[in-house]
Structure 1
Amino acid sequence: MGGTNGAPDYVGLVFVYGTLKRGERSHGLLGDAPFEGAALLSGLELYNLGPFPMAICNPQDSRPISGELYSVTAQQLQALDGFEGVPRLYRRELRRLSDGREAWVYLGNPRQVRFAPVLSNGCWSGSDHNQPTPLSAASTLRPVSS
Structure 2
Amino acid sequence: MAHNQHLDAEAASRPSESLALEPVDADPLAGEPVFVYGTLKRGHRNHHWLAGASFLGERQLGGAQLFDLGPFPMAVAGAGASATPAASAAAAGEATAEGEAGNTTAGIHGELYRVSAKGLAQLDLLEGCPRLYGRHWLQLLDGSHAWVYLGRPRQVRHAQLLADGLWRLH
| TM-score bucket (shorter structure) | 0.7 to 0.9
What does 1:1-146 align with in structure 2 at a 5 Å threshold?
10-59=30-79, 61=104, 63-127=106-170
Gaps of 5+ in 1: 128-146
- The alpha-carbon distance between structure 1 residues 112 and 62, as it changes in their structure 2 partners (threshold 3 A), is closer
Match of 1:132 in 2: none
Gaps of 5+ in 2: 9-24, 81-103
Q: How many residue pairs get matched?
A: 124
User: Quick one: distance in 2 between partners of 1:40 and 1:59?
Assistant: 17
Amino acid paired to 2:165: G
CA contact (8 A) 1:10 1:74 kept: no
CA contact (8 A) 1:52 1:126 kept: no
Q: TM-score, normalised by structure 1?
A: 0.79
**Distance in 2 between residues matched to 1:32 and 1:7, nearest whole Å:** 8
The CA distance in 1 between the partners of 2:78 and 2:66, in whole Å, is 10
Give the Å deviation of 1:63.
2.0
- Structure with greater helix percent: 2
Counterpart CA distance in 2 for 1:110 and 1:119 is 14
Greater strand percent: which structure? 1
Alpha-carbon contact 1:96-1:103 (below 8 Å) kept: yes
Contact 1:14 1:71 in 2 (8 A): yes
How big is the shift at 1:126?
2.2
- Tell me how far 1:102 sits from its aligned partner: 0.3
Q: What is the root-mean-square deviation in Å for CA atoms of aligned residues?
A: 1.8
Whichever of the two has the greater Rg, that structure is 2
